Amino acid sequence: MKFIRPEDYKNEILKGNKVALAKAITVIESTLPAHQKMASEILSAILPATGNSVRIGITGVPGAGKSTFIEALGLYLVEQKYKVAVLAIDPSSSVTHGSILADKTRMEDLSASPNAFIRPSPSSSHLGGVAQKTRETMFLCEASGYDVIIIETVGVGQSEITAASMVDFFLLLMLPNAGDELQGIKKGIVELADAIVVNKADKHNMQNALLAQKIYENALHILNPLSQTWSPPVLTTSAIEKRGFSEVWETILIHNKKFKESGELQQKRQKQSIAWMWNLLDDKFTNHIFAIPEVKEAVQNMSSDIDKNKISAEEASDHIYNTYIKSVVHRRTKKEDE
């Protein structure tokens, strides 16, 4: 079937058509002006059918086994008759801007399930550990009937704050060797976590996992909780042995229930929507400004001058800004004269 109009996408997405969903996400991620217009219309059409999923963000320290953990959690949820969408963000190279996009090969069992949808997307060097269109992709998956949306972020870092700002539940994966990991983890990420999960708590490693669990629990006690109705727990799982996932899901459901009853979930999502509006507005202004020939030339010149130590970054930014203002005034005057 050909998808030409936004209505075509909408109808098929609401039916749960995976092909239509995948094509719509491709349109959403495209930078072509024609696709951007189509994307906006598709999102407007499906918006009333969004908001009914449980949105989960998962991040973790390097080597914590995010993909293995997510596949095990996804398989558990599918067994419980949930429809699961995984939005896996692969880091893009800062040199080639390429991305491996290998999550489908890492989650072979889950990707084979008819009730699962896995979409790997390149981060394209976008801050926040997520792709630029992750939030819009999440809406498309919700409209397509997926009950649980899991966002796998690039990895732990201060920029992961963006990922936490678009989900209901933010889960931080850690390793059993807690002493070293606790020193390296960013405090800001721990403060954002709704739960910490010590993964790789296999039978042969259980003693270390339980010790790590205790250390993280003590660490959480000295932090100020983000909500008066929720104290982040520390859980243990073994993705290889498929243990601990019923407890993780039960924790997420309890959190979701409490936040719905207190009204915090609705408030949180409203704040997230407004924050995302500003994020998109920043992108639009940036794209608009740097599309102006005079500004593009000024950026190139200033970059060259900074490189040669002829000008400070502060002076360069002032010059670029003034060039933009002059171009706006010039265009307005020209238009009035015509």
What's the mean pLDDT in 266-277?
91
What pLDDT is recorded for position 60? 85
What pLDDT is recorded for position 213? 92
Instruction: Give the pTM.
Output: 0.84
pLDDT of 157 above 50: yes
What's the mean pLDDT in 102-117?
81
Instruction: Write out pLDDT tens, residues 160-178.
Output: 677 788 899 999 999 887 5
Q: 97-106, 133-142, 144-153, 324-333: which has the minimum mean pLDDT?
A: 97-106
| Closest residue by Cα to residue 122 from 114, 131, 113 | 131
What's the mean pLDDT in 151-161?
67
pLDDT > 70: what percent of the chain?
Answer: 85
- Domain at 50-262, CATH from 3.40.50.300, 3.30.1330.40, 3.40.50.1970, 3.40.50.970: 3.40.50.300
CA distance between the termini of the chain: 48
CATH class, domain 1-48, is mainly alpha
**187 — pLDDT class (breaks 50, 70, 90):** low
CB 138 within 8 A of CB 55: yes
Look at the chain and count its residues: 338
What pLDDT is recorded for position 100? 40
Task: Return the top range by mean pLDDT from 34-38, 128-132, 268-272, 328-332.
Answer: 268-272
What's the mean pLDDT in 112-138?
73
What pLDDT is recorded for position 126? 44
CB 25 within 8 A of CB 122: no
Q: Evaluate the CA torsion angle 187, 183, 123, 301 in order and state its sign.
A: positive
For residue 92, the SS3 value is coil
**CATH 1.20.5.170 in the chain, residues?**
1-48
pLDDT of 335 above 90: no
Dihedrals phi, psi of 169, to nearest 5 degrees: -135, 125
What pLDDT is recorded for position 147? 97
**94 — pLDDT class (breaks 50, 70, 90):** very low
Task: Return the top range by mean pLDDT from 25-29, 109-113, 249-253.
Answer: 249-253
What pLDDT is recorded for position 61? 77
**131 — pLDDT class (breaks 50, 70, 90):** low
- CA 40/CA 189 separation, integer angstroms: 32
